[in-house]
């Protein structure tokens, strides 16, 4: 029972903290969700909801983006995600690579966070492209492997490999939750960790 006090500087910490990270959520729209073949779609939805809930509970900035809603080609972010994220501003665009959209790009940089927890559909395109660009600009990027998906398992895994080879740090929901919490002595947020791990099956509901 000898945790350091005071804790490490949460803004300068090498690991993810609520004070140094932001969550990016790209293209969780009906067409994209329905085209995922790398994991069961109901599990994908459960997992992205768990990630979004973690961001809300730990008070991370969230950048939400869609593609082709204003053009009428596509529909808005799926309702369950919007329910969790509440009034989070959404940046619609036409570019496949969200990093090439001015409003999205500026919103990311306005957070002042250099660690980006990245989620998107599809892994091989709308996740990979902004991840690669963000890495080139000096950001640290953490794709959440069990909350993203591709048009096939091969496409998903190949996209992950490409990002990892470029320097992305792959992370799971369980790892993300534990990294944000870090210490059970942080009583205010400990229930959020338990809720997240129960939601994804890491903890049993007993």
The residues annotated as belonging to the active site are 126
SS3 66: strand
Q: How many CB atoms lie within 10 A of CB 120?
A: 27
**Selection from 109, 141, 110, 115 nearest residue 19 by Cα:** 115
How far apart are the C-alpha atoms of 154 and 127, rounded to whole Å? 15
Concatenated DSSP letters of 103-122: HHHHHHHHT--SEEEEEEB-
Take residue 127 and report the two structure tokens written for it: 């996740």
How far apart are the C-alpha atoms of 88 and 96, rounded to whole Å? 21
Take residue 84 and report the two structure tokens written for it: 């969790």
The backbone region for 38, taken as left when phi is positive above 0, alpha when psi lies in -120 to 50, beta otherwise, is: alpha
């Amino acid at each position: 029972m000898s945790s350091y006090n005071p804790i490490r500087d949460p803004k300068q910490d090498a690991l993810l903290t609520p004070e140094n990270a932001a969550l990016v959520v790209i293209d969780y729209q009906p067409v994209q969700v329905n085209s995922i073949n790398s994991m069961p779609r109901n599990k994908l939805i459960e997992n992205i909801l768990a990630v979004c809930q973690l961001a809300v509970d730990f008070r991370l900035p969230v950048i939400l983006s869609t593609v082709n809603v204003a053009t009428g080609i596509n529909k808005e972010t799926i309702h369950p995600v919007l329910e969790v994220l509440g009034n989070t501003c959404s940046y619609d665009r036409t570019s496949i690579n969200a990093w090439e959209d001015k409003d999205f790009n500026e919103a990311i940089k306005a957070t002042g966070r250099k660690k980006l927890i990245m989620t998107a559909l599809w892994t091989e395109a709308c996740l990979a492209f902004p991840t690669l660009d963000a890495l080139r600009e000096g950001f640290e990027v953490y794709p959440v492997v069990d909350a993203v998906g591709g048009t096939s398992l091969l496409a998903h895994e190949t996209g992950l490999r490409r990002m990892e080879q470029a320097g992305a740090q792959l992370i799971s929901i369980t790892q993300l939750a534990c990294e944000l919490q870090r210490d059970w002595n942080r009583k205010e947020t400990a229930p959020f960790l338990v809720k997240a791990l129960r939601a994804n099956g890491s903890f049993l509901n007993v």
